[in-house]
Structure 1
């Protein structure tokens, strides 16, 4: 659902929750009333999920084109494998960035050392649509450790810049357009200003409750708040709070999104689907399973 609110807020979206066999996922973007924020076309928050010994998360190999995926964990660990032969685990505070470009397949699974004893998982994943001139760029993968990401600490604020630029800082994550993505934690009573250096901006509340200076309302977990361009945004934490701030310059062309494919041309999506259906898409070394196309894909 979505609705309009105060003068500086364009939309507030409460994403639906889906239970994928005990694995709760909330998809804030795309929504019925909002497809993108800057170049960000997809936002999933998942967990918290708890699993016992011998259990785990198994996202089988599946394909992507025309986008980058940005994965950030709050709890737990995942093992990434892809068709470019990258194998990389990710833990809380780290970033896995995968550029699909002309085409990549990947899987995400609970590592065996976690699966042996059981564990937990909570995290966020964005899809970032690539500019039209970069849609067919060569696939690549980048892992960034927590100590590689720019941070701001002090006055009750802990900000970690995952991608792009913000407040004069730049993340080493490989990007192709004007954007930012930052995890921000505030102690109770702390304030954080999100300047208008980027045209489109939004925050997704992960935990705690926040208010916006000069605006009515209190916002809790799982709310996506999209701001109007140029709005003065100062976030205040009523209690210890955590949120994702992101956005950037909107891309000029319309984006089509079908299953795991994003493109400016629907024919490009149909071609990628045919390759996957016919087994001609690159496979993932060491992971022979796969997710078939949805039955209603045409």
Structure 2
């Protein structure tokens, strides 16, 4: 393995019921890369007409989630009142902060027609100073994200700054998140950040004389790096940034710098279920009436007023 590569990670299949994802982070070999603590490759998953994605409402705290699609669509609902369709090329950034719950389902038109769903879902930790901010959802349409063609490779900056471009995404920690889409065979230099990884979504990438293929992630060493070479129709994601301000703990959908905060989030979710979502720590997104219980908990019916 190249001296510029700290680690090679192979994605692992995880079933989400109606479809599977390929999970790379967190790994027992590498917990985080910059602020990135979770990295899932969704699909490509084919849904026939009449079938759908149905991820019921579930909670998050002390992190931000990013959904970036290549194909298909999702209907996002959350407890700050958001109800929006997520489509390819947009950056959909949900800041959980002190607590949010949300669902992801197929839009009605794609249930009727069927769809291929393909994308990347990542989580980033929030700095300790921002872990308990008010929750929010920010949708950045594809045409608001800066991009340019570099040697035949369409280069889009989803978050942070690179290649003389700056994303409109507001995040309180140095970050870099870039999508490369090779229209033709080409090479592109890498921006210099202390912590970086490259994930091959489709196709073939050559880095420092070694070929990497779909589902592989390489964690790079710090310092200047050689360019990457991509074959035509290859898609690659670059993610990273400055190291986070201390370790993070992760359990189910909760991420925090303090284990006690995760225990509190678990208790809050149980209390919200028992209380029927009325005057409880977590509430229901608009037009939702289902929920995902904590792993191992029964799917009990809410008891309003209890």
- TM range, smaller chain: over 0.9
CA shift at 1:194, angstroms?
A: 0.5
Name the stretch that deviates more: 166-175 or 246-255.
166-175
Number of paired residues? 290
Equivalent residue number for residue 47 of structure 2: 51
Find the aligned partners of 1:16 and 1:7 in 2 and give their Cα distance: 25
CA shift at 1:21, angstroms?
A: 3.3
Equivalent residue number for residue 69 of structure 2: 73
Choose the corresponding residue for 1:209, options 201, 204, 207: 204
Choose the corresponding residue for 1:259, options 252, 256, 265: 252
Instruction: Name the SS of the counterpart of 2:22 in structure 1.
Output: strand
CA shift at 1:296, angstroms?
A: 7.5
Are 1:273 and 2:266 an aligned pair? yes
Q: 1:296 to 1:200 in 2, by over 3 A?
A: farther
Unaligned runs of 5+ in 1: none
Are 1:223 and 2:224 an aligned pair? no
Find the aligned partners of 2:128 and 2:286 in 1 and give their Cα distance: 29
CA shift at 1:278, angstroms?
A: 1.3
Equivalent residue number for residue 180 of structure 2: 184
CA shift at 1:188, angstroms?
A: 4.3
Choose the corresponding residue for 1:105, options 98, 101, 107: 101
Is residue 198–residue 239 contact of structure 2 (8 Å, CA) maintained in 1? yes
Unaligned runs of 5+ in 2: 273-279, 299-306
CA shift at 1:240, angstroms?
A: 3.0
Equivalent residue number for residue 58 of structure 2: 62
Deviations along 1:216-242, whole A, 9 cap, x unmatched?
321000111110011413101234311
CA shift at 1:174, angstroms?
A: 1.8
Is residue 83–residue 286 contact of structure 2 (8 Å, CA) maintained in 1? no
CA shift at 1:154, angstroms?
A: 4.1
Is residue 210–residue 239 contact of structure 1 (8 Å, CA) maintained in 2? no
Deviations along 1:144-168, whole A, 9 cap, x unmatched?
1111001111420201111111133
Is residue 62–residue 254 contact of structure 2 (8 Å, CA) maintained in 1? yes
Find the aligned partners of 1:239 and 1:169 in 2 and give their Cα distance: 23
Instruction: Name the SS of the counterpart of 1:194 in structure 2.
Output: coil
Deviations along 1:64-106, whole A, 9 cap, x unmatched?
0010001000110100000000111011111110000010000
CA shift at 1:18, angstroms?
A: 2.1
